[in-house]
């Protein structure tokens, strides 16, 4: 039997379809898909199915000094027992095995892990196949030319695992214990993560320290035969043209001169053409940057690209290469798109060029080609809208790299008015070249009419604009990844994951990312007491060492030992300042949660978390002061910069995904609820008065009724800022119905016949009032709309994602409830552990 091992299940399914010519069938073993035809079996792993860790005796953070982890033994243990068991069982029956994991450092390590698991059972021959796209041609060619596992490349990946474990675990424990931050709130530190965080913190410091300068610019609207264009005032500044005037008096003088005349005389006209070269092929960083301009985060862009790669529509998305290989026949690939409704016309126009010559970037490697389409074209119905948008980006980038250069005609006009100089620069696209097939790069024109020297142009308007210099912009995700690449931080395969970790661990927020108080505290502590923790030099050196391992110039053991020595030196620096570091971190963490002064004792009011996991505002003077304020039950609180003028308390935003909202000042919300009266609207269906036929004309219970015993429903304003319809006998009766958080509510005179309750309208005086109707009927309709009966009823699970989950063994809601989020994320491309957790929370709601 031939056993083929791939990195993930969807790759296994795709390769089985290709090699079996569609005859493969799937069977489940230990919850794992095994694809079979004839005497061949294909099984997909879930990325790494074994992981590095410390022995169990190092697990207790309180009993083990963090420094002990530096020289601790590192062991390997299965992380996906069912997959490991299945792989071992299949290997015992196999005559040969083929490793077909992704062709990069990480994929080679995963292949080596599979090799070692097979070797525990048998000594059958194990070969390795490598391909850059999962297309029929590449897969068949790869299997016809099998090679051996590159153990040096795998060792480089293993060195990364070990070094990241030791550095991350030791430093994370040290800082967390020092700051008394344990449990889910531990302070995470990482070998690549921390220097990347310092980049973000340093940029924020530049922004905060920036001192703006005032300057002025002057613009004039010039006219020729009714055609207007804008010109800008400029002056000679030591031989260079300057537009910014730094002295207000000088600006006023120039403005006065320009407004004193009604015409400008053309003194210079210069025409020239400029060639605009097409872009170079996509490597990973350039792809992420282009996807970012379409609104995709780095993580999301790479996740979609991996899906398209596995489906056979594009090449491997993790590459540094910017030069197409010699065997790529660009005209043949273009011909695949002829006849496509979306791309056919552009492909035909490119094939009509006299010569098809692709552009080249500066980086040429031999592992993977630049990212480009394979020629297998999906229909829009085959893939999601996001996948199609990314696919079209990749196709059009390839088109652009084989297109001709664009040609621009530029016209520069200089004129004089009132003794002052004005200039205007026009540009016109003469030959669109690559812009015709690549709409993502700017091709905007600026019209300036054709004029001659000596010509008089009317001045229709002059504007003096006061401006200020601006601070440097925050790094966007794509720019941050480019900077990481320049500094040697991480690899093409890991940089986007590093950013995702910084978001997940509360170090950065927003997009472009900005650091939280926790981030500032960790970076400040590291800079003061052990700056190598956030040094890009140290991390870049380790990256170079791992490359040396891959090239056979160093061993895993040598590099790991060198890294441990570095870490020991760091701990020598940290040890003497442990208490000081802890105090610094604790104060900084408290600042990130501080809302304002306590009105009862003057201490600070902080965002706190109860033992049940809910959030509230409590006094830092506890237990002497027990003043508290409630927070909404939905979402995670974020303290905003905006402050309540009345209470000197920061506003709070509740982060809840698509349902995120600003709660505002907690004291204002609580006082608003305290001052509001309950508005009774009718009987409580759980314990209320008699039904309508037993009530008098005024709506009160008729004689003999049980009004004294029963409760009524009332619109209530809660101190947490929420509103609901609830029973007046609470807590004896806890019947309640939700209401919208915002908007005025009007109780109408229309009654629901079924429930004897008035119909409600939200924002009745607005242009778009919401007729909520009977609150009971409305809630029942809401429950029906949001009833979760199968996977596709959950937010974010469409048919395609449901199919992927089913292939990973998640076929029902019960399967999803019991699933391990990390395991599913590793097995199903495009699905994160956080998404799985959100789905599980939705099921429990």
Catalytic residues: 316
User: What is the phi/psi pair of residue 294, to 5°?
Assistant: -95, 0
CA–CA gap between residue 190 and residue 212 (Å, rounded): 35
Phi-psi region of 38 (alpha: psi -120 to 50; beta: other; left: phi over 0): left
CA–CA gap between residue 343 and residue 340 (Å, rounded): 5
**Could you tell me if 388 and 430 are in contact, meaning their C-beta atoms sit under 8 angstroms apart?**
no
For residue 258, what is the enclosing H or E element? helix 248-259
DSSP letter for each residue of 71-84? T---EEEES-HHHH
CA–CA gap between residue 269 and residue 411 (Å, rounded): 7
Beta strands 406-417 and 514-515 are unpaired
Burial of 154 (0-12, 13-18, 19+ CB in 10 A): buried
CA–CA gap between residue 398 and residue 439 (Å, rounded): 13
CA–CA gap between residue 21 and residue 43 (Å, rounded): 17
**Could you tell me if 493 and 162 are in contact, meaning their C-beta atoms sit under 8 angstroms apart?**
no
Strand partners, 215: 467
Name every residue whose Cβ is closer than 8 Å to that of residue 282 and which is 6 or more positions away in sequence.
Answer: 290, 322, 370, 371, 372, 394, 397
DSSP letter for each residue of 119-164? HTT----EEE---SS-SHHHHHHHHHT-B---HHHHHHHHHHHHHH
User: What is the phi/psi pair of residue 826, to 5°?
Assistant: -70, -30
**Could you tell me if 289 and 497 are in contact, meaning their C-beta atoms sit under 8 angstroms apart?**
no
Peptide bond into 731 cis (omega under 30): yes
CA–CA gap between residue 534 and residue 197 (Å, rounded): 8
Residue 343 CB coordination number (10 Å): 22
Name every residue whose Cβ is closer than 8 Å to that of residue 238 and which is 6 or more positions away in sequence.
Answer: none
Q: Please, where are the H alpha helices in 434-535?
A: 477-487, 495-504, 517-529
Q: From residue 406, how far is each of 289, 346, 428, 439, 763 by CA, in Å?
A: 22, 15, 11, 13, 54
Residue 128 CB coordination number (10 Å): 21
CA–CA gap between residue 36 and residue 192 (Å, rounded): 41
CA–CA gap between residue 788 and residue 351 (Å, rounded): 51
Residue 654 CB coordination number (10 Å): 19
User: What is the phi/psi pair of residue 620, to 5°?
Assistant: -70, -10
CA torsion sign for 475, 478, 482, 488 is positive
Count of helix runs (H) and strand runs (E) in the chain: 24, 31
Residue 242 CB coordination number (10 Å): 13
CA–CA gap between residue 774 and residue 727 (Å, rounded): 15
Burial of 145 (0-12, 13-18, 19+ CB in 10 A): exposed
Burial of 645 (0-12, 13-18, 19+ CB in 10 A): exposed
**Could you tell me if 271 and 338 are in contact, meaning their C-beta atoms sit under 8 angstroms apart?**
no
């Amino acid at each position: 039997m031939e056993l083929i091992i791939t990195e993930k299940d969807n790759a296994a399914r795709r390769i089985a379809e290709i090699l079996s010519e569609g005859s493969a069938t799937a069977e489940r073993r230990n919850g794992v898909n095994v694809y079979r035809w004839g005497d061949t079996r294909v099984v997909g792993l879930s990325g790494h199915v074994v992981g590095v860790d410390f022995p169990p005796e190092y697990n207790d953070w309180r009993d083990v000094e963090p420094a002990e982890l530096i020289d601790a033994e590192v062991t390997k243990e299965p992380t996906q027992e069912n997959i490991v068991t299945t792989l071992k069982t299949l290997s015992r029956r196999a005559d040969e095995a083929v490793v077909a994991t992704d062709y990069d450092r990480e994929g080679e390590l995963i292949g080596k892990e599979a090799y070692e698991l097979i070797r525990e059972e048998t000594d059958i021959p194990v070969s390795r196949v490598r391909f850059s796209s999962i297309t029929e041609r590449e897969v068949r060619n790869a299997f016809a030319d099998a090679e051996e596992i590159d153990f040096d490349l795998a060792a480089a990946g293993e060195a990364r695992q070990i070094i990241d474990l030791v550095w991350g675990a030791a430093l994370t424990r040290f800082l967390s214990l020092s700051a008394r931050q344990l449990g889910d709130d531990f302070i995470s530190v990482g070998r690549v993560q921390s220097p990347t965080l310092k980049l973000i913190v340093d940029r924020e410091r530049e922004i905060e320290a920036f001192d703006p300068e005032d300057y002025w610019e002057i613009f004039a609207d010039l006219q020729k035969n009714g055609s207007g264009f804008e010109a800008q005032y400029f002056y000679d500044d030591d031989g260079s043209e300057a537009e910014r005037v730094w002295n207000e008096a000088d600006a006023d003088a120039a403005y006065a001169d320009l407004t004193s005349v009604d015409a400008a005389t053309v003194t210079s006209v210069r025409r020239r053409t400029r060639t605009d070269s097409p872009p170079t092929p996509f490597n990973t960083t350039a792809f992420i940057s282009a996807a970012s301009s379409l609104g995709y985060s780095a993580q999301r862009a790479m996740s979609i690209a991996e899906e398209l790669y596995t489906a056979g529509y594009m090449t491997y998305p993790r590459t540094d290469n910017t030069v197409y290989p010699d065997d790529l026949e660009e005209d043949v690939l273009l011909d695949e798109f002829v006849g496509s409704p979306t791309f056919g016309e552009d492909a035909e126009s490119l094939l009509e060029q006299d010569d098809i010559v692709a552009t080249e970037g500066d980086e040429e490697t031999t592992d993977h080609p630049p990212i480009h389409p394979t020629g297998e074209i999906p229909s829009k119905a085959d893939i999601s809208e996001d996948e199609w948008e990314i696919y079209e980006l990749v196709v059009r980038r390839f088109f652009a790299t084989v297109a001709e250069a664009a040609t621009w005609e530029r016209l520069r006009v200089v004129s004089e008015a009132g003794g002052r100089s004005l200039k205007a620069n026009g540009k016109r696209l003469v030959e669109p070249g690559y812009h015709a097939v690549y709409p993502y790069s700017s091709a905007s024109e600026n019209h300036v009419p054709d004029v001659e020297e000596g010509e008089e142009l009317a001045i229709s308007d002059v504007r003096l604009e006061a401006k200020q210099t601006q601070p440097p912009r925050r790094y966007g995700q794509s720019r941050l990844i480019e900077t990481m690449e320049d500094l040697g931080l991480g690899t093409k395969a890991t940089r986007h994951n590093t950013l995702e970790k910084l978001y997940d661990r509360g170090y950065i927020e927003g997009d472009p990312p900005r650091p939280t108080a926790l981030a500032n505290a960790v970076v400040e502590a590291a800079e003061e007491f052990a700056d190598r923790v956030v040094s890009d030099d140290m991390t870049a050196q380790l990256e170079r060492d791992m490359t040396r391992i891959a090239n056979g110039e160093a061993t895993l053991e040598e590099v790991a030992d060198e890294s441990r020595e570095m870490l020991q030196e760091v701990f020598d620096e940290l040890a003497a300042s442990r208490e000081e570091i802890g105090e610094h971190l604790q104060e900084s963490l408290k600042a990130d949660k501080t809302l304002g002064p306590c009105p009862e004792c003057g201490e600070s009011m902080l965002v706190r978390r109860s033992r049940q996991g809910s959030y509230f505002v409590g006094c830092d003077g506890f237990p002497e002061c027990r003043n508290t304020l409630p927070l909404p039950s939905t979402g995670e609180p974020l303290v905003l910069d905006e402050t309540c003028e009345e209470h000197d308390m920061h506003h709070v935003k509740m982060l809840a995904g698509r349902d995120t909202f600003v709660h505002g000042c907690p004291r204002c919300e609580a006082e608003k609820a305290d001052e509001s009266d309950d508005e009774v609207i009718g009987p409580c269906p759980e314990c209320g008065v008699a039904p309508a036929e037993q009530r008098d004309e005024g709506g009160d219970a008729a004689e003999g009724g049980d009004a004294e015993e029963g409760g009524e429903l009332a619109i209530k304003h809660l101190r947490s800022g929420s509103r609901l319809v609830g029973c007046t006998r609470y807590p004896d009766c806890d019947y309640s119905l939700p209401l919208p958080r915002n908007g005025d509510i009007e109780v109408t005179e229309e009654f629901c016949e079924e429930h004897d309750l008035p119909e409600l309208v939200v924002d009745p005086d607005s242009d778009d009032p919401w007729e909520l109707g009977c609150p009971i009927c409305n809630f029942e309709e809401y429950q029906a709309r949001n009833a979760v009966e199968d996977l596709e009823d959950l937010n974010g699970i469409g048919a395609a994602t449901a199919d992927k989950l089913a292939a990973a063994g998640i076929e029902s809601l019960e399967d999803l409830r019991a699933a391990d989020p990390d395991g599913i994320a590793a097995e199903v491309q495009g699905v994160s552990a956080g998404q799985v957790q959100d789905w599980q929370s939705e099921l429990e709601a």
